[in-house]
Amino acid sequence: ELILGVNMTNIKEAEYAATHPGQTSWSADHPLSMEQDIMHALIHRLEGHNVGEGGHLGYENAKYWLAGGDKKFESVCDHMVRRGMRDYVTQRSDRFRCLDLIANGEERKTACRTYKIVAGGGEFRNVHVREGEFDCFRFVDLCAKRYSS
């Protein structure tokens, strides 16, 4: 329940909602906090190359939840978990610099990075990581690359 709002009294309803997106009021009735979105993303990241919800790979679903799930954030919002990751990577820049996990505008001459991610219902949308922020989408891409090689 802590992670997804699911408990033994509503598990059948939750399973139906997960396998029939947009056909129930589950997400409106059980809104998730940013912490729950991040935990949900971690679960999907662990699915990796396996197909999960909506017929998408775990990595794709992880990005969906990192972007706020059905809240559909256009840019990654500031949160203590993201700040912690940014600080961890920045303080160890000698080890992490080559992974390019902190967004910067140098590569595209813009103030942010843009990713095309699953939006639900078979559609995609753009989401942005602001300059200087921890790039959680790049992190998921690196995980996918590492586990596919």
Q: What is the pTM of this model?
A: 0.79
What is residue 53's predicted lDDT score, i.e. its pLDDT? 79
CA–CA distance, 68 with 136 (Å, rounded to integer): 12
Residues of the chain under the 70 pLDDT cut? 1-5, 19, 21, 77, 105-111, 149
Q: What is the pLDDT of residues 116-135, one digit of tens each?
A: 998 877 789 999 998 888 99
CA–CA distance, 95 with 121 (Å, rounded to integer): 39
What is residue 112's predicted lDDT score, i.e. its pLDDT? 83
CA–CA distance, 116 with 118 (Å, rounded to integer): 7
Beta-bridged to residue 51, according to DSSP, are: 57
